[in-house]
Amino acid sequence: MKQILLSILFCALIVCAFDSGVAQTSGKTFGNEVTFVSPPNLRLVSSDSVNGKPSFDYFILVKAKLNGIYDINGGLQNYETFNVGQIDVWGSDNTQRFWMDMHQSQIRFRGQRETEMGTLIGYLEGDFWGGSKHFRLRHAWVDFKFIHFGQDWSFFGDKDIWPNVLDWDGPPSGVWHRAPELKFYFDVMPQSRLEFGLSTPGPQIITSSDIDTSVSSANQRFPDLIAAWKQTTGFGHLRATAVFRSLMYTAGATRQAVPGYGATVSGFVKTSSELPSSFQFQLVGGVGIATYLASYDGYNFDAAPNGKGELEAIPTFGGWAAYEHFLTKQWHFNLIGGWSNFRSKEIASYTIPGAGYTATNSKISLDMLYGLVNIMYDPVPNLIFGLEYNFGSKSAKHVGSVRTADGVEAEVSQSRPAHRISFGMFFDF
């Protein structure tokens, strides 16, 4: 594991779109510092001041998002986002589909109050992407002095980086997991910040098309423990994080704790002094951390039973990189690539749901590739139009003893690509 963690130590990170002075065109959310190109129309700022700042500053911002897609092939016709992890490698449906919706539109409330003891900030955000397209809570957090608590992007990842894409699932290895957490942060030296705290554990159970085991999540006894370090520089910033988990599972009549741990490194580099062109990336690796990755989140890929009647955490690795280049102040394009892999140890028995095969004493390997190119046009501040091409490929391999219609095989593998055209617009008002 030491070699794995050492191999992850390389990067540099993005300055938040608000901090860089451009419109927030991606799925990034607000932080403690907010700068607008065009302030929200629904904003209330106090005429009184405390410590040289308005005593309160409240606003409501709506981010309308038209989500348009055209599926060329690949089995993602039932999904509004291009989630590579959901490609059904055993399926055969390659029908084309045209679709548009506004379900990813967001409503954002933010309030900032100055007190004699410091700045108090509250933030709430939701969209209409929940079941039956009802309003869904995405973020709800409070920040005061050195304490940050509530539901936010996990600080095991990096909320300040996000590839500028129309499809908001993005690379399968993206560490974009939301959970209630309690975080403490301290500026230990100029431009350097240390964070540590705890998060709600999240080994969730949803039927997967890749693995079906007898394991289920039990009541958790311990929170996830997370630490992070961030160094801001003139070109952007660098961030490294670590997590330790103790996850409780039930396998038959056995209740067992499974340890997990991992690390990330993320970074941003400004590539232009005149326009907001940038390069950003993230690497992640560990065991028992699949919950934190976009394409594995919610599918209980953190642990599985081995061939010895025990549960073992599963290694998961991945990374992505994104380059955004502004041709002019209005025209810009993005190039993004990503990958992730999942390697289980020997599992006593499971069913491959999509294929209907029974596997015993077998290992599972999942590999995902992701690529995207887009072009965006900002005719006026806070209005963006875009067109992009999405490519994804998923490969599944089962090695051991797999019973198929033709008999017992030592190895069964299947892969499938997916192609999609995404289009749409963002409008902040």
* pLDDT tens per residue across span 338-348: 999 988 888 88
**Rounded to 5°, angle at Cα 161 from 246 and 206:** 40
- Terminal C-alpha separation, the chain: 47
Residue with tokens 């394009």: 333
Helix and strand numbers (H, E) in the chain are 1, 24
Q: What's at 283, amino acid-wise?
A: L
What is the pLDDT, as a whole number, of residue 43?
92
State the pTM of this model: 0.88
- The per-residue pLDDT for range 155-213, each reduced to its tens digit, is 999 999 999 999 988 899 999 899 999 999 999 988 999 999 999 986 554 445 566 55
- The per-residue pLDDT for range 230-242, each reduced to its tens digit, is 999 989 999 999 9
What is the pLDDT, as a whole number, of residue 215?
66
Residue with tokens 């040289």: 52
Q: Please tell me the distance from the alpha carbon of residue 337 to that of residue 342, in angstroms, as a whole number.
A: 18
pLDDT value at 34 more than 70: yes
In DSSP terms, 107 is beta-bridged to: 62, 126
- 286 or 38, greater pLDDT: 286
Q: What are the two backbone dihedrals, phi and then psi, of residue 369, each rounded to the nearest 5 degrees?
A: -120, 150
* CA-CA-CA-CA torsion sign (400, 403, 408, 413): negative
Give the confidence band of 20 by pLDDT, cuts at 50, 70, 90. very low
Give the confidence band of 1 by pLDDT, cuts at 50, 70, 90. very low
Nearest in space to 112 (alpha carbons), one of 104, 123, 99, 102: 123
Q: Please tell me the distance from the alpha carbon of residue 111 to that of residue 113, in angstroms, as a whole number.
A: 7
* CA-CA-CA-CA torsion sign (88, 422, 298, 304): positive
What is the pLDDT, as a whole number, of residue 319?
97
What domains, with CATH codes, occur in the chain? Answer: 2-20+66-103+133-428 (2.40.160)
